[in-house]
Amino acid sequence: MAASTSLHALSSIKLWSTGSFGLEKRTCHVNCVSVGRRCTNARNLGIVCASNSQSSVVEPVQLPGSPKSSTTPKKSSESALILIRHGESLWNEKNLFTGCVDVPLTPKGVEEAIEAGKRICNIPVDVIYTSSLIRAQMTAMLAMMQHRRKKVPIIVHNESERAHKWSQIYSEETKKQSIPVITAWQLNERMYGELQGLNKQETADRFGKEQVHEWRRSYDIPPPDGESLEMCAERAVAYFKDHIIPQLVAGKHVMIAAHGNSLRSIIMHLDKLTSQEVISLELSTGIPMLYIFKEGKFIRRGSPAGPSEAGVYAYTKNLAQYRQKLDGMIQ
């Protein structure tokens, strides 16, 4: 189906379409990354980095005015990568296709973000990436309010020379107690084209569940005038490789707050999912997922359960040590 096909034209094509919806049965929708039979298996992920990181290493992101630090990868280091889909938005609540429409969180979404923050409050975060959409930014900020390290997340404004200059910080100590938040449109939700603002149920009633599921979850079939997951991946995964992997290689701990589909495309890349497997990948709102980046590989560690449970902290010595350090600082 051509991306430019209009909904009007589609309605006449799809009115007769009533196929079964077998894929729905296989969908595994849980509070973590879940892909069919792989739901519970953390596994080593052969990576990306070997072919990309060396050619695309960029400077670790710094707050305005920070002295430049070394970009040399710390060979023995491991880095945490937290992925979090934004909390429930006002259009999630209304069951509307949202895409790149910039809608805020609901009170429930705010709660989800706070809860997510509690789940990651012992995991180190050096730099945060969010989309340019407010629901992802709200989620990142609210989650960080819960972090035990109590650093202040600060949005980096580099959109113009003046914005950069006017947001300078003139205290090294204050900078040390801050976390840069980089906003990137490349991490935005997939652009949903002519579906944006339509009710999901009404659209399924009109065009058929099968067609709507294809638009929502297939890899390479775009919704009318919108982006397919493949098109979304072209910008989101490219950004991840060019900007985020170099941070991890440099030993920085990264959090990404983004969207159902921009994160699906990144997870597809990290977990090496096929275009068939990604169909059943569903992400819940406000659930953080942890990967460990070590020796050029991403190791999926699932979703941190809660600050008081051993859970993910038992997985790596570094995370356990960081937590102990926080315990020491806070006592």
Ligand X SMILES: O=C(O)[C@@H](CO)OP(=O)(O)O
Among 78, 88, 112, 189, binds ligand X (CB under 6 A): 189
Q: Which is nearer to ligand X, 127 or 133 (CB)?
A: 133
Confirm whether residue 297 is marked as ligand binding. Answer: no
Confirm whether residue 135 is marked as ligand binding. Answer: yes
288 neighbors 119 (Cβ within 8 angstroms): yes
Q: Which residues, 256 to 315, sit near ligand X by CB under 6 A?
A: 260-261
The footprint of ligand X on this chain (CB under 6 A) covers a number of residues equal to 9
Shortest separation between residue 148's beta carbon and ligand X, angstroms: 30
| Nearest alpha-carbon partner for 281 in 298, 299, 265 | 265
242 token code pair = 């060019």
- Report helix angle 134-145 to 107-119, nearest 10: 50
Confirm whether residue 200 is marked as ligand binding. Answer: yes
Using CB under 6 A as the binding rule, whether residue 135 contacts ligand X is answered as no
275 neighbors 217 (Cβ within 8 angstroms): no
Of 96-104, 148-156, 178-186, 239-247, the window that binds ligand X (rule: CB under 6 A) is: 96-104
Using CB under 6 A as the binding rule, whether residue 210 contacts ligand X is answered as no
Calpha distance 113→136 (Å, rounded): 10
* Alpha-carbon 53 to chain mean position: 20
Q: Which residues contact 320 (CB under 8 A, 6 or more apart)?
A: 313, 314
Whole-number CA gyration radius for the chain: 20
Shortest separation between residue 13's beta carbon and ligand X, angstroms: 20
The catalytic site residues sit at 86, 189
Q: Which is nearer to ligand X, 175 or 213 (CB)?
A: 213
Q: Give the three-class secondary structure for 51.
A: helix
Using CB under 6 A as the binding rule, whether residue 243 contacts ligand X is answered as no
Confirm whether residue 87 is marked as ligand binding. Answer: yes
Binding residues: 85-92, 98-99, 135, 189-192, 200, 216-217, 260-261
Query: Where does this chain bind ligand X (CB under 6 A)?
Result: 92, 97-99, 189, 192, 216, 260-261
